[in-house]
Structure 1
């Protein structure tokens, strides 16, 4: 269980770093496929992740990105939730599959933060985890709406 605010923020930084990288990959693939609209969505999502990363660094007072050994992370399945569903992006992925992949990742990020919010014994960690879960929830809703729209 994560009951230390700095440890929580290191996890948040890594999670957002992973998310930004994957969104950048998806944006590149969508751009190569000529889908500028979805490319712009993924570029925007990468930007949000980079902003969240910077916010977590500022809240923790980190000047440089903190480094933990892989065994020091407390991920639910041994890997960052935002990276768990990403096994590299196939250059031939279609729009719906790309959106569903992003949705899976955001849902895992939401679940991670919500679980910490429920279980942490530290009030500050719980409060911040709820805030981060709320942001991830908004991303989940946005991606669900995109899936519906693009499938129509």
Structure 2
């Protein structure tokens, strides 16, 4: 079983799907099943239209075998494989950088699949406009000190809120979701420590913004109130957390899009990148959790 992440200029954001090794076949088959627009034509390794770049994310042994003769020949014609890479794949099981999606089978490892997409279609821009519309109320960041104050406040509130939710779950006996929220609170504290480290000598007590300047009087990563429901499932908890992370992502997107300071824009984009990673991780967890619910382990397993 593996997480397959698709990345392309034609996608508004990276998409991670949960695939069973060998069950859905090739990368192209997985992409088609999840409506990922990898270009393709012959689907038989003879046209090269489904060329992708594959990065193996697992720390264990990489799977580089199963290069078909068709695939090797087409990659040669495209100038995307060398003799040394072919030898490394055949002798040492080391995967080449480029593959044909219709020929490359999904193995039991996490991979990142990059593709250019149909160049006749416009690329989907990032959600800057949407984010800027959402986060307007009172937020006008003009200095780096002020920006770091906002960043620290976001992570600090997230950690506090997850701990509060965990306490509520514990008090009503929902130990599984309480454990999840404690884990998420720990992640937020790590992010908070990193934000404070970046702030350096800035006097955060003077620049952390009060609650009233935020839209809805709450920082973006606070989860919805329904996350305190005692009947919450682990999947519900993950989805509540994902909503908060997406709002954090959108907040930093809005800052990067609206600021007139190149320095603040650069810093905001770094936080955008980090929040995108948090979103990606939660989406992968949700995909895995949904698959587990739909495919419960056999009683005889």
TM (normalized to structure 2)?
0.43
> In the alignment, what sits opposite 1:121?
260
> In the alignment, what sits opposite 2:283?
144
Bigger Rg, which one: 2
The aligned length equals 148
> In the alignment, what sits opposite 1:20?
159
Kindly indicate which of the two structures has a greater share of residues assigned to strand.
2
Matched, 1:35 2:176: yes
Report the alpha carbon displacement of residue 101 of structure 1 after superposing the two structures with TM. Answer: 0.4
1:101 pairs, out of 226, 230, 240, with: 240
Distance 1:111 1:119, change over 3 A: same
Distance 1:103 1:88, change over 3 A: closer
* Equivalent-residue separation in structure 1 for 2:245 and 2:209 (angstroms): 23
Distance 1:150 1:13, change over 3 A: same
> In the alignment, what sits opposite 2:211?
70
Moved over 6 A (4+): none
Report the alpha carbon displacement of residue 78 of structure 1 after superposing the two structures with TM. Answer: 3.9
Report the alpha carbon displacement of residue 19 of structure 1 after superposing the two structures with TM. Answer: 1.0
Distance 1:7 1:84, change over 3 A: farther
Over the aligned positions, Cα root-mean-square deviation in angstroms equals: 2.7
| Unmatched tracts of structure 2, length 5 or more | 1-139, 292-301
Report the alpha carbon displacement of residue 23 of structure 1 after superposing the two structures with TM. Answer: 2.6
> In the alignment, what sits opposite 1:90?
229
